Amino acid sequence: MGAIAKAMQDVRQRIATAAASARRAPDSVHLLAVSKTFPASAVIEAYRAGQTAFGESYVQEALAKIAEVKAVLGSQAGLEWHFIGPIQSNKTRSIAEHFDWVHSVDRLKIAERLAAARPAGRPPLNVCLQVNIGGEASKGGVAPHEAIALARRIAALPGLRLRGLMTIPRPTPDVAGQRAQFRQLRELFDQARAGGLALDTLSMGMSDDLEAAIMEGATWVRVGSAIFGARTRKTTEGKT
Q: Rounded to an integer, what distance in angstroms lies between the CA atom of residue 36 and that of residue 55?
A: 7
Q: Return the domain boundaries, the chain.
A: 3-174+191-228
Give the CA distances from residue 83 to residues 17, 36, 53, 181, 184, in Å, rounded to whole numbers and listed in that order. Answer: 27, 10, 11, 23, 23
- pLDDT above 70 covers what percent of the chain? 96
Q: With beta carbons less than 8 A apart as the criterion, state whether 165 and 189 touch.
A: yes
pLDDT digits (tens, 9 = 90+) for 147-202: 999 999 999 999 999 999 999 999 999 999 999 999 999 999 999 999 999 999 99
Tens digit of each residue's pLDDT (9 = 90 or more) over 103-125: 999 999 999 999 999 999 999 99
pTM above 0.85, yes or no: yes
Q: DSSP states of 119-188 as a string?
A: PTTSPPEEEEEEB-TT--TTS--B-HHHHHHHHHHHHTSTTEEEEEEE--PPP-S-HHHHHHHHHHHHHH
Count how many Cα atoms sit within 13 Å of the Cα of residue 118 in the half-sphere of its side chain: 21
Distance, CA of 150 to CA of 235 (rounded, Å): 27
Q: Can you give the pLDDT at residue 232?
A: 65
CA atoms of 183 and 181, how far apart (whole Å): 5
φ, ψ for residue 59, nearest 5 deg? -60, -50
State the virtual CA torsion across 90, 127, 183, 132 in degrees, nearest 10: 10
Summarised one tens digit per residue, pLDDT across range 52-106 is 999 999 999 999 999 999 999 998 899 999 999 999 999 999 999 999 999 999 9
CATH number of the 3-174+191-228 domain: 3.20.20.10
